[in-house]
């Protein structure tokens, strides 16, 4: 048997996938790795959810071999501030918000 390789994820496909997964909040797990730790005062979960549902992909998604996920960045200007999220999508179609930075 040959080695299985991940397909190249385009920005458009990644954005559609994230938007679709974010339509149901049970598909999302929030993990905070921000270094400053002050994000909770500036960005709430509703803003992050709107960013996932209506935001734009900021960088080309990449495959992470270790975690077996596609990782990318989504962003949106919402409620007077820029919100950028680092997210990962599992092959089982689960979405992880890894990092929240404004």
Q: How far apart are the first and last CA of the chain?
A: 45
pLDDT at residue 3 above 50? yes
Say which residue, 58 or 1, is predicted with more confidence: 58
Read off the tokens for 15: 């954005």
DSSP labels for 18-69? Answer: HHHHHTSGGGEEE----SS--HHHH--HHHHHHHHHH-EE-S--EEETTTTE
- pLDDT tens digits, residue range 43-92? 778 888 999 999 999 999 999 999 889 999 999 987 788 889 999 998 77
- pLDDT tens digits, residue range 6-32? 567 899 999 999 999 999 989 998 886
Decide if 63 is inside a domain. Answer: yes
Decide if 3 is inside a domain. Answer: no
Strand partners, 70: 63, 89
pLDDT given for residue 101 in this prediction: 67
Number of domains in the chain: 1
pTM of the model: 0.80
CATH, residue 89: 3.30.2310.40
Residue 94 CA: distances (Å) to CA of 6, 21, 64: 16, 7, 15
Alpha carbon distance 57, 75 (integer Å): 6
Q: Which of 22, 96, 28, 78 is nearest to 52 (CA)?
A: 22
Decide if 5 is inside a domain. Answer: no
């Amino acid at each position: 048997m040959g080695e299985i390789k991940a397909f190249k994820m385009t920005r458009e496909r990644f954005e559609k996938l994230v938007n679709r997964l974010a339509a149901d909040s049970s598909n999302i797990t929030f993990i905070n790795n921000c270094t400053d730790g002050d994000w909770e005062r500036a960005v709430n979960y509703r803003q992050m959810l709107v960013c996932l549902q209506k935001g734009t992909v900021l960088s080309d998604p990449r495959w992470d071999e270790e975690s077996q996920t596609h990782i990318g960045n989504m962003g949106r200007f919402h409620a007077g501030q820029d919100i950028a999220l680092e997210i990962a999508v599992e092959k089982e179609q689960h979405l992880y918000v890894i990092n929240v930075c404004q």
